[in-house]
């Protein structure tokens, strides 16, 4: 590590932080827009964007200004008292997403947990499912977070093994298989929980008609459709929500990552009043959820999204990204999946692993991360310039073809 890490930051990390990650051997000390700078002053293009938490790039001036201003007013009240920004944040987020009510949380996993709790409560209080028997249908290959309940229905053994006993009440069906989904629906089904595009699984887009068919299956069974748009939402795919590409509406959307502008964790469940309205005081909560600082940054994020600029950038830069990556597919080097400024590069057998490709790209000044063994995940900040995007793509194409 001597050359890469002369000051020993990596050694300190490895000695003192739990080993639940395997980071690339690079130590970031500052960042702006689509660029990262390491402790020795070397610059890198960010082709990961914090797994889409940094859709607006590092330290977007409007987001930093909103945070700074709020730091000088009030940052935390808890929900024991009202504050001036919660109602405005919730109204603006509901208006942006075309929904009716907002349940603010902090992390993505917490918002998914909240959606699960709300769906169960709705099943018992509204649908009339006998208490304690509600089921939620989920897809294989899913990633919804790391809590004990959420890993209970993961199909990734690394994420799940050793963490039992598991929470019951989930039915897993193959992602993209509409017949299997229809067969899994029952009178006790509270909801289907699905990623419109599976991020961690390798940026996998389901077959055409799958999401509309899932909506129809939910309607037929009187169940809720919950879309986990934590990674796919908020302009990443070229639309506000990935479901918008299909003209499909969910009953609940789970948002996170970019909602906090890369500054702090902000998540939310947004959706129908007839569903979120089942919660009564004391039944659910969070000390930090909906805090004034989160609302100030969240409102600035909503204002950026309301302009439509980032959706257009993702759409246009994404078309270019997919067109250029397609040359890899044409030469049999890799299969490309994804939508907008978001791609999975599935490297053909015999090529480098995702990890090896990411390490080679690090040497070329481009930082990204593998998804699965042979998959590279590409998700630059939506503020990236056309020429920076091309520079990064040149490096990727070069590393995979030489
Ligand atoms: C990242 C992610 C989560 C979990 O979010 P955290 O903030 O890490 O808890 C849940 N669902 C999806 C689709 C994600 O990409």
Contact indicator for 67, 296 with CB cutoff of 8 Å: yes
Distance in angstroms (rounded) separating the CA atoms of residues 45 and 48: 9
Q: What is the pLDDT of residue 361?
A: 98
Q: Roughly what angle, to the nearest 10 degrees, separates helices 292-306 and 61-71? A: 150
Average pLDDT, rounded, for the chain: 97
The residues that bridge with 347 in the sheet, in sequence order, are 334
The residue among 242, 252, 154, 259 whose CA lies nearest residue 201 is 154
The residue among 267, 233, 275, 234 whose CA lies nearest residue 251 is 275
Compute, in angstroms, the gap from residue 312 CA to the centroid of ligand 1: 24
Contact indicator for 140, 175 with CB cutoff of 8 Å: yes
* Backbone φ, ψ for residue 204 (5° rounding): -95, 125
Question: In 3-state terms, what secondary structure has residue 267?
Answer: strand
Contacts of 209 (CB under 8 A, 6+ apart): 178
Q: State the average pLDDT over residues 364-385.
A: 96
Report whether pLDDT(114) > 50: yes
166 is catalytic: no
| CATH topology identical between 7-60+309-401 and 73-306 | no
Which ligand 1 atom lies nearest to the CA of residue 265? 7
Hey, what are 53's tokens?
Answer: 């938490």
Per domain, the residue ranges of the chain are: 7-60+309-401, 73-306
What length does the chain have?
402
Q: What is the pLDDT of residue 23?
A: 96
Report whether pLDDT(286) > 50: yes
The residues that bridge with 226 in the sheet, in sequence order, are 193, 252
Distance in angstroms (rounded) separating the CA atoms of residues 180 and 210: 11
Residues in contact with ligand 1 by the CB-under-6-Å rule are 51, 107-109, 112, 143-145, 195, 199, 228, 230-231, 256-257
pTM here? 0.98
Task: Name the residue with the closest Cα to ligand 1, atom 11.
Answer: 144
The residue among 329, 111, 120 whose CA lies nearest residue 233 is 111
For the segment 175-209, what is each residue's pLDDT rounded down to a tens digit?
A: 999 999 999 999 999 999 999 999 999 999 999 99
Which ligand 1 atom lies nearest to the CA of residue 145? 4
| Three-state secondary structure string covering 169-185 | CEEEECCCCHHHHHHHC
Per CATH, which fold does 7-60+309-401 belong to?
3.90.1150
For the segment 30-61, what is each residue's pLDDT rounded down to a tens digit?
A: 999 999 999 999 999 999 999 999 999 999 99
Band of pLDDT at residue 1, cut at 50, 70 and 90: very low
Task: Name the residue with the closest Cα to ligand 1, atom 5.
Answer: 108
Compute, in angstroms, the gap from residue 200 CA to the centroid of ligand 1: 9
Task: Name the residue with the closest Cα to ligand 1, atom 10.
Answer: 144
Compute, in angstroms, the gap from residue 300 CA to the centroid of ligand 1: 21
Per CATH, which fold does 73-306 belong to?
3.40.640
Q: In terms of DSSP H, where are the helices of 134-288?
A: 148-152, 157-160, 178-184, 210-221, 273-276
Pick the catalytic residue: 5, 38, 228, 244? 228
For the segment 130-189, what is each residue's pLDDT rounded down to a tens digit?
A: 999 999 999 999 999 999 999 999 999 999 999 999 999 999 999 999 999 999 999 999
Report whether pLDDT(67) > 80: yes
Hey, what are 203's tokens?
Answer: 């940026």
In terms of C-beta density within 10 A (0-12 exposed, 13-18 middle, 19 or more buried), how is residue 249 classed? middle
Q: Are strands 224-228 and 189-194 parallel, antiparallel or unpaired?
A: parallel
For the segment 226-257, what is each residue's pLDDT rounded down to a tens digit?
A: 999 999 999 999 999 999 999 999 999 999 99
The residue among 211, 221, 276, 220 whose CA lies nearest residue 247 is 211
Report whether pLDDT(4) > 90: no
């Amino acid at each position: 590590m001597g050359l890469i890490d002369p000051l020993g930051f990596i050694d300190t990390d490895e000695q003192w932080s739990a080993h639940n990650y395997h980071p690339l051997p690079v130590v970031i000390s500052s960042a702006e827009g689509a660029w990262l700078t390491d402790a020795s002053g070397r610059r890198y293009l960010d082709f990961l964007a914090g797994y889409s938490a940094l859709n607006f790039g590092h330290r977007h001036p409007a987001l930093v200004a909103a945070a700074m201003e709020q730091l000088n007013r009030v940052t935390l009240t808890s929900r024991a008292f009202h504050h001036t920004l919660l109602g405005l944040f919730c109204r603006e987020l509901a208006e942006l997403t075309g929904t009716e009510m907002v349940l603010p949380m902090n992390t993505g996993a917490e918002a998914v947990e909240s959606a699960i709790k709300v769906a169960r409560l709705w099943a018992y209080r509204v649908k009339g499912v006998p208490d304690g028997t509600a089921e939620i249908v989920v897809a294989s290959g899913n990633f919804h977070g790391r809590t004990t309940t959420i890993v209970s229905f993961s199909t990734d053994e690394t994420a799940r093994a050793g963490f039992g006993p598991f929470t019951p009440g989930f039915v897993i069906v193959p992602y993209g298989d509409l017949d299997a989904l229809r067969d899994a629906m029952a009178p006790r089904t509270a909801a289907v929980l699905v990623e419109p595009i599976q991020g961690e699984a390798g940026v996998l887009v389901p077959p055409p008609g799958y999401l509309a068919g899932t909506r129809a299956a939910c309607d037929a069974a009187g169940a809720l459709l919950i879309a986990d748009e934590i990674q796919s939402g908020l302009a990443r795919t070229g639309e506000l929500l990935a479901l918008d590409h299909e003209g499909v509406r969910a009953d609940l959307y789970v948002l996170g990552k970019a909602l906090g502008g890369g500054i702090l964790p902000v998540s939310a469940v947004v959706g129908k009043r007839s569903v979120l309205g089942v919660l009564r005081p004391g039944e659910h909560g969070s000390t930090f959820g909906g805090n004034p600082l989160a609302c100030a940054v969240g409102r600035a994020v909503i204002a950026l999204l309301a302009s439509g600029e980032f959706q257009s950038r993702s759409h246009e830069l994404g078309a270019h990204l997919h067109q250029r990556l397609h040359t890899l597919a044409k030469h049999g080097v890799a299969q490309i999946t994804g939508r907008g400024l978001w791609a999975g590069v599935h490297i053909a057998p015999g090529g480098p692993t995702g990890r090896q490709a990411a390490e080679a790209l690090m040497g070329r000044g481009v930082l990204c991360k593998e998804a699965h063994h042979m998959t590279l995940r590409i998700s630059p900040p939506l503020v990236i310039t056309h020429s920076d995007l091309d520079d990064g793509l040149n490096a990727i194409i070069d590393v995979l073809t030489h």
